[in-house]
Amino acid sequence: MCRIAGLIHPEFEINRIEAIVDEMCLLLKHGGPDDGGLYISETDKLVLGNRRLALIDLTDAGHQPMAYQNRFHITYNGELYNFSILKEELENLGHQFKTQTDTEVILAAYAQWDVHAFARFNGMFAFALWDDQLKEILLVRDTAGMKPLYFSTASGGLAFASEMRAFKPIPYLQQSNAESSVFLMAYGHIPEPITTLKDVKPLHKGCYFKYNLRSGEQAYHSFAHYCYNNTYLENPQMEKVLYDAVERHLIADASVGVFLSGGLDSAIIATVAAKIQKSNLNSLSLYFKDPRYSEKKFQDILLQQLHCIPKQYLLDETEFHHFFPKIIQDMDMPCCDGINTWFISKYAAEEGLKAVLSGIGADELFGGYPSFKRMSIANKLKGIPDLLLKSGRNSKIKKFNRLSYLQLYGIKGIYLFLRGHFTVTDIAMQLDASENEIWNILEDLPVFSKFNNLHIKNQASWMEFNMYMQNQLLRDADVMGMAHGVEIRVPFLDDQFVRFALAVDPEIKYGGNLPKQWLIDNYKDQLPQKIWDRPKMGFSFPFQDWLTNSPFVKDLMLNSNKGSRHNYERFIDRKLHWSQLMSLILLNSKNEA
Amino acid sequence: MKHNDILFVTLKIFSATGGIEKVCRVAGKALYEHSIENNLTIQVYAMHGMKNASERNRYFPSELFRGFGGNKIKCILASIRKGIKSRIILVSHINLLPIAWVIKMISPSTKVLLFAHGIEVWQPLGRFKKMMLNSCDRIISVSNFTNDKIQELHQIPKEKCFVLNNCLDPFLPIPGKLDRELNLRKRYGIGEKELLLFTLTRLSAKERYKGYDFVMEALVHLKKEYPGIRYLLAGSYDKEEKEFLDNHIQKLGLQEQVLMPGFIADDEIAAHFSMADIYVMPSRKEGFGIVFIEAMYYGLPAIAGNRDGSVDALCNGKLGLLVNPTDVQEIREAIEKMLANMNAYKPNRELLLQHFSFSNYKSKFIKMLNS
């Protein structure tokens, strides 16, 4: 796991390109504290950069960018969980390896199987691979979109990086995307394919972008995707599939821990991981003094039976205020969440852990969100004529207020109806724009095809998996973990596990009284009842109070435009949720910067 | 405002293995990738496809697919409903043209595109069909041969006609030591050094235009010169054709030479190409002949007929030999020429990929959609 960056530009001097990529890497240093390197090809006006966080083969042999057969060069971010199997296969085909890294396996796999190699990779990854013979560069991103990769082909060059902040040294990419504020306010994050820069976009998951320097040819291809099934597995057995997935995710030469929030999903991951690692497993938990928000009692129940090395951290208000401005800075692209991930990653780093397992993905695959129940009503409400939907916008009741979002085409409208952050009226007021302008921007992007051929609950799952998890949870996990040089791994998104989950009959998968009942049923006998038979706390943090008390926030908001001042007052009056305020804080701190 | 960008209506796409279905799958993938790159919405319908037909397919996510299980009325109505809200409607076969025509009537701004493959458009059409054909904005032919026929027979203006040659499926296994892994020659009892001619096609009494019967006649002479020569005629057959061929083989005294293994599983096709020495199919009615480019992808020298779409597949003879498909002597001579100098007839890989790679196919296809 590392951070990557690079630039090809036929019209720039190589020294200039090198200086730019060097600076890009410096901006990404937090995510790769162990080592750094550049690959420079003067004739091709190409520089690949890397900041390394060493997890597999900690020696210098893992230095990146790495070369293979003196022809292929890679700068790579991520983990390949099936690399040892691939390595064996490649060795049988005659490949010889100099290192113990998964990086070298990627290179050899590409040398052997060309672009067919990518679909064989089970892992989270984003990389740039340069073929010096064909003069061709490939940007590649994993099927679940766990690792980010942004790129731009503007101005006749090719620039790419793991984070948006890294584009700062490239002068021709500085035009910001004014519309991103609209998305932030509507979604609470910036959904793909939108970014904060006008000419930079994310590479779509499961895709590769190929650019041949000789012919100038560019090609954007998909190598893998996930499908929800309409024919189902007979007698699906989850335990074995998840056990294998967790086992793969524990592969590392550095120490790996597990996040233990007190909730069901991380409890399951920790239970399975503890079985594999016996007593060597480090667990990390965050708790608050205020019992209304604290999950400590659940963590304690779990820790009693897990026999791991427990680390629990009390996050208090003083620490929160101290680090809050830093968190805002570390965010890369703005997002209304991720504070807790930032703190838990900080503690993980302090404990010397380099990778931590998280429970992300279970809610999306097994129906942990309210949207799974609300999907069918939302679909029905979508049938209401637009005019009537629009009239909801003046309602004082938030739910009615968001009704108007349903006039947006397809699943996007449903998403914003169920999960929307601010209403269009609020956004227009805050940004001093007309409502029509806001509607047009939201209508335009992102686009999703209609898919009523899926089971209604699979539609909800699709939406949470591809929108909420993709754009908010995974991005937070990546960027907040990397802020401390900690890699967050997600066993529920293991390639084989995802394919398994998508092939389970929705009647089984989402059946039962409790959310995620089937998941619970599979682990009931291994978990204390208090863990699975408890209300979901979700967004319950003491941040409402803490942000109210924050002089930094007060100062920022009161010194901003009229809309911000008005919204800050609403927040103080408890009419605005802290996560909504977060978006506004980010908007204003961005303006300040 | 059109909510959907592209609707692609097909007859079958995953449930059959013919050439037209191959084109549809690859076109579906191209459209899917185009939609990702350019933020568009697409839908793929299949009249005869089952609801679950697209599962685990590698071409595009199944949520973009709708199969109507043979319910024509339902498919027609759904396509029209969706089509009038689409910017572009693409139909995979002339039999689906009435759908596109109705859509065009209701929504004139919707662009109508039709795929034209082969024999289905090489015959005179009734007045109504011709009128519908004329209402298309673009007719995309898979070969120049089909394109010429359309202009000649149906008087379609040139500017509406485009040629988009079929391409290599991007998921074809990479050429290599495929047959040795499967030990295929041993399975068929063919010696490592024996010469092997190969044809892979559906063997149907109704479609007896593939020329394998002529190849057999040529073989009668060839076996004298090349005693170890064998002919593998693979593909599923119907009863009538099997009887015909058995008789034919017996009549020609080729029981020793000709092998008819029947259906070849998808995952063994590549290995079969790798095992053979020459791909020969002097067909008379190929729309394009994807099988030729596949054979050549695995390094096989190819012989094809010079009177149909195969001419494009062999790049006017630059990639292989074109023969008069009804002239047994010419077929025989072509095989002899190749056997005398195998290396000279190995298809030029660079040229093959330049013409028939998926990447090039996609960019031409997308240009056509946007032009």
* pLDDT, tens only, B331-355: 999 999 999 999 999 999 999 999 9
Q: What's the confidence (pLDDT) of residue B244?
A: 95
Q: State which residue of chain B sits closest to A119, comparing Cα positions.
A: B58
Across A574-591, average pLDDT:
89
- Asked if B330 and B306 count as a contact pair (C-beta separation under 8 A), the reply is no
What percent of chain A stands above pLDDT 70? 96
Instruction: Check if B55 contacts A (Cβ < 8 Å).
Output: yes
Q: How far is B2 from chain A (nearest CA, A)?
A: 10
Query: Does B159 score more than 70 pLDDT?
Result: yes
Instruction: Check if A221 contacts B (Cβ < 8 Å).
Output: yes
Q: How far is A260 from chain B (nearest CA, A)?
A: 34
Q: Which residues of B touch A409 (CB under 8 A)?
A: 3
Strands A150-152 and A158-161: antiparallel
pLDDT confidence band for A2 (50 / 70 / 90): confident
Tell me the per-residue pLDDT of A310-348, one tens digit each, with 9 for 90 and over: 999 999 999 999 999 999 999 999 999 899 999 999 999
Across B174-184, average pLDDT:
71
Query: Does A155 score more than 80 pLDDT?
Result: yes
Q: What's the confidence (pLDDT) of residue A593?
A: 47
Q: How far is B359 from chain A (nearest CA, A)?
A: 7
Query: Does A538 score more than 60 pLDDT?
Result: no
- Name which of A222, A459, A467 to mutate to probe chain B: the one with the most chain B Cβ atoms within 10 A of its Cβ: A222
What percent of chain B stands above pLDDT 90? 86
Nearest to B33 among A222, A231, A453 (CB): A222
Across A153-170, average pLDDT:
97
Q: If you ran DSSP here, which 8-state letter would residue A55 be given?
A: -
Across A404-422, average pLDDT:
92
pLDDT greater at residue B6 or residue A308:
B6
Residue B289, by phi and psi: left (phi above 0), alpha (psi -120 to 50) or beta?
A: left
Interface touch B41/A410, C-beta < 8 Å: yes
Interface touch A449/B42, C-beta < 8 Å: yes
Mean of pLDDT over chain B: 93
pLDDT confidence band for B182 (50 / 70 / 90): low
Interface touch A450/B43, C-beta < 8 Å: yes
pLDDT confidence band for A1 (50 / 70 / 90): low
Interface touch B4/A221, C-beta < 8 Å: no
For chain A, the 3-state helix, strand and coil shares in percent, each to the nearest 5, are 50, 15, 35
Across A26-47, average pLDDT:
90
Across B190-213, average pLDDT:
92
Q: What's the confidence (pLDDT) of residue B371?
A: 82
Taking the C-alpha atoms of residue B33 and residue B265, their distance in angstroms, rounded to an integer, is: 28
Across B57-70, average pLDDT:
92
- Asked if B305 and B286 count as a contact pair (C-beta separation under 8 A), the reply is yes
Q: What's the confidence (pLDDT) of residue A591?
A: 58
Q: Which residues of A touch B51 (CB under 8 A)?
A: 230, 453
Q: What's the confidence (pLDDT) of residue A36?
A: 87
pLDDT confidence band for A59 (50 / 70 / 90): confident
pTM, 2 dp:
0.94
Mean of pLDDT over chain A: 92
Instruction: Check if B61 contacts A (Cβ < 8 Å).
Output: yes
Interface touch B40/A447, C-beta < 8 Å: yes
- Name which of B52, B63, B74 to mutate to probe chain A: the one with the most chain A Cβ atoms within 10 A of its Cβ: B63
Nearest to B63 among A193, A446, A462 (CB): A462
Task: Give the per-residue SS3 of chain B.
Answer: CCCEEEEEEECCCCCCCCHHHHHHHHHHHHHHHHHHHHCCCEEEEECCCCCCCCCCCCCCCHHHEEECCCCHHHHHHHHHHHHCCEEEEEECCHHHHHHHHHHHHHCCCCEEEEEECCHHHCCCCCHHHHHHHHHCCEEEECCHHHHHHHHHHHCCCHHHEEECCCCCCCCCCCCCCHHHHHCHHHHHCCCCCCCEEEEECCECHHHCCCCHHHHHHHHHHHHHHCCCCEEEEECCECHHHHHHHHHHHHHHCCCCCEEEEECCCHHHHHHHHHHCCEEEECCCCCCCCHHHHHHHHCCCCEEEECCCCHHHHCHHHCCCEEECCCCHHHHHHHHHHHHHCHHHHCCCHHHHHHHHCHHHHHHHHHHHHHC
Interface touch A446/B39, C-beta < 8 Å: yes
pLDDT confidence band for A397 (50 / 70 / 90): low
Q: Which residues of A touch B3 (CB under 8 A)?
A: 409-410, 450
Interface touch A222/B36, C-beta < 8 Å: yes
Q: Give the H or E element holding residue A210.
A: strand A207-212
Interface touch B36/A445, C-beta < 8 Å: no
Interface touch B61/A225, C-beta < 8 Å: yes
Query: Does A486 score more than 90 pLDDT?
Result: yes
Taking the C-alpha atoms of residue A50 and residue B304, their distance in angstroms, rounded to an integer, is: 52
Q: What's the confidence (pLDDT) of residue B154?
A: 93
